[in-house]
Amino acid sequence: MIQLGLRRAAQLFRNNPQPWKAVHVAGTNGKGTVCTYLSALLHAGGVRTGRFTSPSIIDRWDCITINEKPVAESVFREVEAQVLERNKAQDLKATEFEILTATAFDIFTRENVEVGVVEVGMGGRDDATNVLKSKCLTIITRMGLDHQGFLGNTIEEITKVKCGIFRQGVPVLYSSNNEAEVVEVIKAEAAAVGAGPVKTYEKMPSFRQRNYKAFVKASMARAEQKMSIIIAYRALCYLESEFPQMIPATLGVKSAGPEQVVYSNAILNTQIPGRQQYIDIGPIVGKRIEVMLDGAHNPQAASYLHEVVRYEMRDFNYGPITWVMANTKGKDLPGFLEPLVRSYDSVATVEFGPVDGMPWIEPASSEAIAHAVHELHPDVPVKTFGKDIPGAINWAINQKAATSRVVICGSLYLKFHVMKAASKSDAMRHKSPEEFKIEDKAECKVIPERVDDWWKSFGEKSLELVKKEKSKALERSDQHFRTVSNSQVEQRSSLELEYAAATKPSGFDPDRDVHRDNDMVIVF
């Protein structure tokens, strides 16, 4: 079972001088995303950066990165062996996560990083990562109910435990979408230990770079991603004083300078594996099929996923969703399912296998999940598959109609299982506003020079045109990102079009406002 407490981790870390500074990130949702964006920004700014997040994705060592690259397996195994030897010599009986944490921190020291961006494993106060000796910033992301059996039964109790990462004189940054009672606890806990200042921010960083503007427009429905970018960039701005060699973070500066390109590109190029990610599961099912994969596993994360699914799938009549779902034993299954499953959907329930390094984690039984679905929607088709994840995915694909979608979610461990299986080919990819892959292998790229003109002239008429032609397009193709030909909208990216049409003035004229290239129009 899980053994919270710092004694063993502190002993393993005792002889590490930690010459690097740490940014410590806790919270219920979004903390891994914040770590990923922040480490990418720091690296782009010229700071030698380490990142430690958990759990791992495919290999045990890929949760430790140096300058945005997973640590070499040989380095990981060498340092891990040294940590294991200390554990044995001192008879510490450390947990696997404590061993992994000590290994990550020793690698940071060995690799001469200047800053380590560290995600809390679970909780905060008693988490192994809280042995850090030198913190320069602590961050609390969105709070919610999770791990109640270990952390507390109310959001206030859980927040107090997570605020255990605070240190005297160390600034605190928290997500602005936290509830008022959470903010009260954060401020009280910071005051109790003399941490601060305590800050939050709500506005996205504003760069003049055109492809960054497009990225922001395309991410507006993904609230968690948006908030993670805000926190990460605000953290970067604060850390500028800690690392004077860093390229200045020019938040709010209207002139387009090279530093804007550096940081906007870092955000644009950062990929968050398994967060509303479209992947090809061909290696699992034997044919090229694209599904959405997400690690949502609690009611709050399910609400985030619901918004994305609604915005990218349901609002454009893609048809019912076929869900492949797992969850962890003891989780709030009704609270997780309610935002996601509709009466006309289908559900396959599965169980993830043993979790490397965390033997106390157990899956909810597929029967329990199925029962919770039927309690919510008695007539929804549900099939249980136990630990047969490939079988569940194949069933979901066969249930899928021409215009419906498959979404796999409910557990980080299910997510990582699918990603590992899909990684046998170049299957995993992130769609971006800059490049859309077309079924026939043709590629189209956004033409940056025309983006501003395009947005200025894009209006409500375009949305009407999309809706009119959408049903025709769906009969011909099952793609998400679309092209247009001969001034007629045949297939388009629903997310970008809906956002633009809802926010830009009317007056769209395809003959005037669309850029043509060999009878092909390229559109956000």
Asked if residue 256 is part of any domain, the answer here is no
Are 72 and 195 within one domain? yes
Reported as a pLDDT band with limits 50, 70 and 90, residue 211 is: low
Same domain, 166 and 304: no
> Is residue 444 in some structural domain?
yes
| Segments of 357-487 assigned E as strands | 382-384, 405-409, 435-437, 443-445, 484-485
CA distance 512 to 454: 10
How confident is the prediction for the chain on average, in pLDDT? 77
- Domain assignment of residue 213, yes or no: no
Determine, yes or no, domain membership for 257.
no
At residue 510, the pLDDT reads 37
Q: Give me the pLDDT at residue 217, please.
A: 52
238-249 confidence digits (pLDDT tens): 999 999 999 988
DSSP three-state, residue 348: strand
What confidence category does residue 271 fall into, taking pLDDT thresholds of 50, 70 and 90?
confident
pLDDT digits (tens, 9 = 90+) for 160-204: 999 999 999 999 999 988 999 999 999 999 999 999 899 998 776
Is 442 found in the same domain as 373? no
- List pLDDT tens digits, range 74-89: 999 999 999 999 999 9
In terms of residue numbers, what domain contains 482? 435-521
pLDDT band at 258 (very low <50, low <70, confident <90, very high): low
- Do 108 and 234 belong to one domain? yes
Q: Which residues contact 202 (CB under 8 A, 6 or more apart)?
A: 176, 230
Is residue 261 situated within a structural domain?
no
Q: Let me know whether 405 and 342 are in one domain.
A: yes
Per-residue pLDDT, 448: 36
Q: What is the CATH number of the domain that holds 113?
A: 3.40.1190.10
304 and 364 assigned to the same domain: yes
Rounded Cα distance between 413 and 136, Å, is 31
Residues facing 408 on adjacent strands: 293, 324
Q: Which amino acid is at 41?
A: L
Which long-range contacts link 60-64 to residues 24+ away (Cβ below 8 Å)? Answer: 60/100, 60/356, 60/357, 63/100, 63/104, 64/103, 64/104, 64/107
Residue whose tokens read 């060999």: 518
φ, ψ for residue 152 (rounded to 5)? 135, 165
Structure tokens at 476: 């011909």
Domain with residue 385: its CATH number is 3.90.190.20
**Cβ atoms within 10 Å of 370's Cβ, excluding its own:** 19
Confidence of residue 403 (pLDDT cuts 50, 70, 90): low
- Does the pTM surpass 0.85? The reply is no
Residue 314 contacts residue 353 (beta carbons within 8 Å): no
| Mean pLDDT of the 63-72 span | 96
The total of structural domains in the chain comes to: 3
For the cut 70, the answer to whether the pLDDT of residue 345 exceeds it is: yes
Please spell the DSSP secondary structure of 149-195, one letter per residue: HHH-SSHHHHHHHHGGG--TT--EEE-TTS-HHHHHHHHHHHHHHT-
Strand partners, 29: 142
**pLDDT, position 256:** 56
Residue 430 resides in a domain: no
Q: Where are the alpha helices (DSSP H) in 171-298?
A: 180-193, 210-218, 223-239, 258-269, 282-285
My answer on whether 390 and 492 are in the same domain is no
The pLDDT assigned to 455 comes to 34
Q: What is the pLDDT of residue 496?
A: 39
How do residues 143-158 score in pLDDT, each as one tens digit? 987 655 566 678 899 9
Is pLDDT larger for residue 130 or for residue 433? 130
Name the pLDDT band for 133 (thresholds 50, 70, 90): very high
Return the residue matching tokens 């270990």: 150
Angle at which helices 448-457 and 210-218 cross, to 10°: 50
* Mean per-residue pLDDT, 498-519: 38
Q: How many CA atoms lie within 13 A of 54 on its CB side?
A: 23
- Domain check: are 444 and 471 in the same one? yes
Q: Which pLDDT score is estimated for 368? A: 95
